[in-house]
């Protein structure tokens, strides 16, 4: 921009904030004044409405109100989860495990801390060490908390001989990883140093590589639809300047990803030089309810690690050949997906996902026993239920529970106690249906089942051409 005349037809100055230079807290924090310019004078109003909506949806604020989790300086970059936040975590990871089992993945587990020599074989020590959390023991041995699971999974695959008939092998793990992100880059659940991730590695023969990529793509888009997200953009990030491996192996990996995108008929955008140091990657970027983009799922094709770890399988000819390797994350960071989903739904999560699915509140003293009886029946049906058995106005109870975003509120009064019925008050609903207790429990129990358990899943489809549900403009 040469002068302010180039700033457009209108501009807005958001609130002033502090920011470290390049995210480095060793520098003095200056004030940051940023501005947003617009080509049309009618555009700022829409932008300001979107920003106000984003502030209401901020997962950090909602996390304190519901409450789910909070951050403290005693553990920078790590969440302290409250009971409701911890209920949300197993719901997400349990859903993911169900989907992975349906897709043929087998769960494994790798150590949280491993010796330097392993990270040197993988190349992490040479090229990724600045992002790793390191430790040294009294006997002068160097270790690293795992930032990724690839080396551990390579060791698991390397135990015992493998035949081409055993492939593809799908090995998945949901657990914590640790990465030393700069202090200035940390941002609630969306950017942490310690976070759970749903890594998996697929070992297959090179001739099945494209089919394996298509199966992952099918699974990713299906999962995001379960969470109410239909708009997904795809980015292809080819080789960076700082990398390991030969140009030949990089060309093969990039070609496999392009072939999969072409067969799936997916438009995509190329982000030159943004690949990982060992592989190119596809990134699935979600667009939330107010149009913001969030990078979550990744898919990488790798010929480098099998070579570095001398990983082989016995081919049909009898010779030992290296398998093709796919690195795959469906959620990516489970914490990031938690934050995105909370903001996408403005805290009002679907019943199957909500940490508190229903709350039973007392209206009058005589109905107290009835309220306890309703809560007992709902809990026996394995629903996540809270109770408010304080003698307060119903309006006060409703207002309090509205802040905690409970999808269903039940307040049995004297008439309901006499008729053995319950009225289900749902967030955002204009009507309050009255059902028998048994019918209400059955209805809520059916609605609370995760999509992975309620919807039949088709087998992997590898047709020559498939039209995706989620599309984005292709970069020219």
Give the residue numbers annotated as catalytic, written as ranges: 150, 179, 197, 199, 201, 281, 327
**SS3 for 301?**
strand
* Diameter of the chain measured on Cα atoms: 80
Q: Give the residue among 203, 213, 170 at the shortest CA–CA distance from 312.
A: 203
- Residue 354 tokens read as 């909500």
Q: Could you give the CA distance from residue 195 to residue 332 in angstroms, rounded to a whole number?
A: 10
Distance of CA 203 to the CA centre of its chain: 23
Full DSSP string of 441-463: HHHHHHHTS-HHHHS--PPP---
- Are 39 and 50 spatial neighbours (Cβ–Cβ below 8 Å)? no
Q: Write a three-state SS string for 187-253.
A: EHHHECCEEEEEEEEEEECHHHHHHHHHHHHHHHHHHHHHCCCCCEEEEEECCCCCCCCCHHHHHHH
Distance of CA 264 to the CA centre of its chain: 23
Q: Could you give the CA distance from residue 247 to residue 239 in angstroms, rounded to a whole number?
A: 9
* Bond before 142 cis per omega within 30 degrees: no
């Amino acid at each position: 921009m040469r002068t302010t005349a180039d700033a457009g037809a209108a501009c807005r100055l958001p609130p002033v904030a502090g920011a470290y230079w390049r995210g480095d807290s060793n520098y003095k924090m200056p004030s940051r004044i940023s501005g947003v310019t617009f080509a049309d004078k009618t555009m700022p109003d829409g932008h300001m409405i979107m920003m106000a909506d984003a502030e209401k949806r901020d997962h950090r604020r909602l996390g304190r109100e519901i409450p789910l989790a909070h951050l403290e300086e005693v553990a920078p970059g790590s969440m302290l989860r409250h009971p409701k936040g911890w209920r949300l975590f197993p719901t997400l990871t349990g859903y993911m495990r169900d989907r992975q089992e349906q897709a043929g993945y087998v769960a494994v587990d790798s150590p949280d801390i491993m010796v330097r020599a392993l990270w040197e074989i993988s190349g992490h020590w040479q090229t990724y060490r600045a992002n790793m959390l390191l430790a040294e023991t009294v006997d002068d041995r160097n270790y690293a908390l795992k930032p990724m699971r690839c080396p551990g999974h390579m060791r698991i695959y390397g135990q015992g001989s493998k035949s081409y008939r055993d492939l593809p092998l799908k090995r998945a793990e949901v657990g914590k990883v640790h990465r030393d992100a700069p202090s200035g880059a940390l941002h609630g659940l969306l950017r942490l140093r310690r976070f759970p991730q749903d890594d998996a590695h697929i070992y297959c023969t090179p001739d099945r590589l494209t089919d394996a990529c298509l199966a992952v793509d099918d699974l990713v888009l299906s999962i995001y639809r379960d969470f109410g997200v239909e708009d997904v953009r795809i980015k292809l990030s080819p080789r960076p300047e700082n990398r390991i491996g030969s140009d030949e192996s990089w060309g093969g990996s990039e070609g496999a990803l392009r072939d999969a995108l072409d067969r799936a008929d997916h438009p995509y955008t190329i982000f030159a030089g943004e690949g990982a140091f060992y592989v190119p990657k596809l990134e699935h970027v979600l667009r939330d309810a107010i149009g913001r983009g969030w990078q979550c799922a990744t898919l990488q094709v790798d010929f480098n690690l099998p070579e570095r770890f001398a990983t082989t399988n016995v081919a049909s000819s009898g010779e030992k050949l290296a398998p093709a390797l796919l690195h795959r994350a469906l959620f990516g960071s489970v914490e990031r997906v938690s934050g995105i989903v909370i903001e996408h739904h403005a805290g009002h999560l679907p019943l199957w996902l909500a940490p508190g699915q229903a709350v039973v509140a007392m209206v009058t003293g005589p109905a107290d026993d009835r309220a306890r009886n309703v809560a007992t029946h709902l809990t026996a049906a394995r629903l996540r239920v809270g109770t408010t058995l304080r003698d307060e106005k119903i309006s006060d109870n409703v207002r309090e529970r509205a802040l905690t975003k409970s999808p269903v509120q039940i307040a049995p009064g004297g008439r309901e106690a006499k008729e053995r019925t319950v009225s289900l008050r749902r967030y955002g609903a204009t009507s309050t249906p009255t059902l028998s207790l048994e019918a209400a429990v059955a209805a809520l129990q059916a609605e609370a089942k995760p999509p992975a358990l309620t919807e039949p899943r088709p087998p992997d489809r590898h047709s020559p051409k498939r039209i995706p549900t989620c599309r984005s403009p292709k970069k020219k």
